[in-house]
Structure 1
Amino acid sequence: MLELQDLCKKYGRHTVLDNMNLHIEKGQLFGLVGPNGAGKTTLIKIIAGLLELDYGSVLVDGKQTSTKERRSHTKIGYMPDYFGVYQNLKVYEYMDFYTQMYGYKGKEAKNKVEENLELVNLLSRKDEYVDDLSRGIKQRLCLARCLLSEPELLLLDEPTSGLDPRGRNDIRNILNILQGKGMTIIISSHILQDLSQMCSHIGIVDNGKMVTQGPVEDILQMEEQSKPLRIRFTEVNSSLLKYLGSHVLISNLTIDGTQTTMRFEGDSMEEAKLLTTLIQNGARICYFAREEGNLEKLFLRITKGE
């Protein structure tokens, strides 16, 4: 659905995007994470056609596009982290205004407004003034507006920023529904727990570069395999220590009473094989596990935060 090739953007001497490459298939819910100033918002605005790129190309649905084409592309929807609105508009009037801008008239326009308000659970609040809404409800309203053009690619810049847990949960549920309908979604966020729970794929941006990208499960598994393996025995003897110390996949072995900690270079299959071998040789084990992979810790490590 989206492919970026060697994307570059500079402001004076400062490089914001440095040969950025990205490939997103149709139907993916892609999480874009990175520290402040990493280039996430710039990247999203370039994809939306709101900023000119200095070098590179953007392909949407397999076709190379110009900035002007993306700005008016009906397949692309863009939701900023904060949106403005004309004063003294009610929720229904706000939606009706944009519905008519997209060319809907009469009963078709009415149905379109109600359909999208129903999707974000705001139909019952259609007569309330937008200015009186909480930030979380405004975010849901803005999302409903973005969906009026029936985009195939939805760009969301920090949609859960400043929301309480209930507001974030509402947005997460709506995005899961949209993904279930086949929509491709790119979401940038600093709330890494939300991204790990709802995204199918993630990309980590640092200093204008895409440091890593891929399925959430694969990236978290990579993180888990870098974690120490901890085993607690009921007792430790010399033959057991000799076996662990000579194992080709084990290094940095430390012993504290009946607990051992080690760097284990194998995958989950190798872990299972090690556990089986230990038990078959008479070892009594009451704990065998790695520290669980965590997107936040991975983010800190990759972006040199630790």
Structure 2
Amino acid sequence: MIETIGLTKKYGSFYALQDLNLTVEDGTVFGFVGANGAGKSTTFSILATLLQPTAGDAFINGLSITKNAHEVRKQIGYMPDFFGVYDQLKANEYLDFYGASYGLKPKEREQLIPQLLELVNLSQKRYEYVDLLSRGMKQRLCLARALIHDPKVLILDEPASGLDPRARVEMREILKELKSMGKTILISSHILPELAEMCDSIGVIDAGKLIAQGSVSEIQAKLQSEKVLRIKVAGETAPIAKFFENDPLVSQIAEKPEKNLVEFLYRGSEEDQMILLHKAIMQQLPILSFAEEETDLEDVFMAITKGAETP
């Protein structure tokens, strides 16, 4: 489990992180959302014991990062947003070096390295020099490095940054596999919409402060005082738009005749939606579909941080 209590990092009068309190339960995936400079990497560096907090503390499986840093490092696998690789080493040699650094015996490393390379889909690149690997392959190799000592907790800072669509899919599948293995994963990413299905909860950070936390559905529910309803029609859109604009709970109607769509903001409840649809059906309007537009994590982030101060 990961827990932070009043975690703060200050540089002079500037707060890179301010009074961060969050909990990530065992075996869950927590998505950390925030713009560049919001405080994600600062948080991860502190949790990885690479940076001392100005105030507060954090605990990894009950161990304090400030008092038990050496023990904490045995519990975590950390993958920074910018990482280095040793170009003159082959992939298996690279992992062997880090395995030895963690005190693994030669026999253990010999058995473990092929398994890790298979997990990150790099078995066929075992004897390739690291500098000849693509960016996506280097990312996966770095993830294998973070797993070399079988940590219970993974702290992954932008693991899919700069990857092409295929490499992103491969990374997502690997993270799903790690979740199924019971790993606790704290991950930040600008492509969280693609990872929404595997995130048990998310936190939104802005200007060093955690401004929202909860499951994706909980945060979406808080934001959706106004919902976007999308109506697909058979025929002209103008009569449909005219009908709906008379409802007091409807605003900002937009017609898309080329797609036979009418969209608008709706302030009513689900019961109100049922009543509205029933009225439309009674008027025999040619409606093919009547649906609420889903809000993804990018919409959530933009809505929550709208108007927030930036450092």
- Which TM-score band (shorter chain)? 0.7 to 0.9
Deviates more, 1:250-259 or 1:215-224: 250-259
Written as runs of structure 1 = structure 2, the 5 A alignment for 1:215-234 is: 215-230=215-230
Alignment match, 1:4: 4
Distance 1:259 1:100 in 2: 62
Written as runs of structure 1 = structure 2, the 5 A alignment for 1:1-306 is: 1-61=1-61, 63=62, 65-67=64-66, 69-73=68-72, 74-230=74-230, 244-245=247-248, 250=249, 252=251, 261-266=264-269, 269-270=270-271, 273-274=274-275, 277-278=278-279, 284=285, 286=287, 287-304=289-306
Deviates more, 1:159-168 or 1:95-104: 95-104
What SS does the corresponding residue of 1:182 show, helix, strand or coil?
coil
Distance 1:66 1:169 in 2: 33
Question: Does structure 2 conserve the Cα–Cα contact (< 8 Å) formed by 1:28 and 1:200?
Answer: yes
Q: CA RMSD in A?
A: 3.0
Question: Does structure 2 conserve the Cα–Cα contact (< 8 Å) formed by 1:17 and 1:39?
Answer: yes
Whichever residue aligns with residue 148 of structure 2, its letter is: L
User: How many percent of aligned residue pairs carry the same amino acid?
Assistant: 44
What SS does the corresponding residue of 1:23 show, helix, strand or coil?
strand
Once the two structures are TM-superposed, the CA of residue 206 in structure 1 deviates from its matched residue by 0.4
Q: TM-score, normalised by structure 2?
A: 0.84
**Structure 2 unaligned regions, length at least 5:** none
Q: 1:103 to 1:271 in 2, by over 3 A?
A: farther
Q: 1:146 to 1:254 in 2, by over 3 A?
A: closer
Once the two structures are TM-superposed, the CA of residue 285 in structure 1 deviates from its matched residue by 6.0
Distance 1:263 1:102 in 2: 57
Q: 1:240 to 1:43 in 2, by over 3 A?
A: closer
Once the two structures are TM-superposed, the CA of residue 165 in structure 1 deviates from its matched residue by 0.8
What SS does the corresponding residue of 2:68 show, helix, strand or coil?
helix
Question: Does structure 2 conserve the Cα–Cα contact (< 8 Å) formed by 1:75 and 1:151?
Answer: yes
Distance 2:254 2:191 in 1: 37
Q: 1:276 to 1:112 in 2, by over 3 A?
A: same
Q: 1:81 to 1:251 in 2, by over 3 A?
A: same
What SS does the corresponding residue of 1:89 show, helix, strand or coil?
coil
Question: Does structure 1 conserve the Cα–Cα contact (< 8 Å) formed by 2:59 and 2:65?
Answer: no
Query: Number of paired residues?
Result: 298
What SS does the corresponding residue of 1:46 show, helix, strand or coil?
helix
Distance 1:240 1:293 in 2: 22
Question: Does structure 2 conserve the Cα–Cα contact (< 8 Å) formed by 1:49 and 1:69?
Answer: no
What SS does the corresponding residue of 1:4 show, helix, strand or coil?
strand
Distance 1:298 1:228 in 2: 14
Q: TM-score, normalised by structure 1?
A: 0.85
**Structure 1 unaligned regions, length at least 5:** none
Distance 1:46 1:283 in 2: 62
Q: 1:265 to 1:209 in 2, by over 3 A?
A: farther
User: Residues 138-177 of structure 1: CA distance to partner in whole angstroms, max 9, x if unpaired?
Assistant: 1101100111111111001111111111111111110000
